[in-house]
Amino acid sequence: MRTLLLASLVAVGFLAVGCGGSEESDRAAATVEDLDGSAFTATAAQGFELDGQVPLTISFDGDTLSVDAGCNSIGGGYEIEEGELRGTELASTLMGCPPPLGEIETATTGMLSDGATATLKGDTLTLDGADGTRLTLQR
């Protein structure tokens, strides 16, 4: 009887784990088609601070992207391969930006240039940089 009870508890535990999903596993790898025609505004960052007054927006149009963090104009191509979004031939105007806008632009363009894992859950795009930075954006 004790063995049957233990086996039942273990089975229920496996079912509970199998039915529940972590937030990480609920996200799917983003594709160019998913992002095309969309603008995403940052809602949270890890590894750098966002400015509470000036929004950080990343817009996607076909295979190009543009970044607006309130100071410089940043844009270029991008590709997604095996779930990694990488900016290609990114260009920027070179205005000196007051803190924290300069740091936000540097962190964001660095993440895009180095490549970031891009996942999408509903209207939430998450970019995870190899250096531990994370940017969460909302469509």
Cβ-in-10-Å burial (0-12, 13-18, 19+) of 127 comes to buried
Q: What is the architecture of the domain spanning 27-138?
A: Beta Barrel (2.40)
pLDDT, position 26: 81
In this structure, are residues 96 and 89 in contact, taking their beta carbons and an 8 Å threshold?
no
pLDDT, position 27: 87
In angstroms, how far is CA 136 from the centroid of its own chain?
A: 5
Considering all CA atoms of the chain, what is the largest pairwise distance in Å, rounded to the nearest integer?
A: 75
Query: pLDDT tens digits for the chain (139 residues)?
Result: 444 433 443 343 433 444 444 455 688 999 999 999 999 999 999 999 999 999 999 999 999 999 999 999 999 999 999 999 999 999 999 999 999 999 999 999 999 999 999 999 999 999 999 999 999 999 9
pLDDT, position 64: 98
In this structure, are residues 39 and 139 in contact, taking their beta carbons and an 8 Å threshold?
yes
> What is the model's pTM?
0.81
pLDDT, position 37: 98
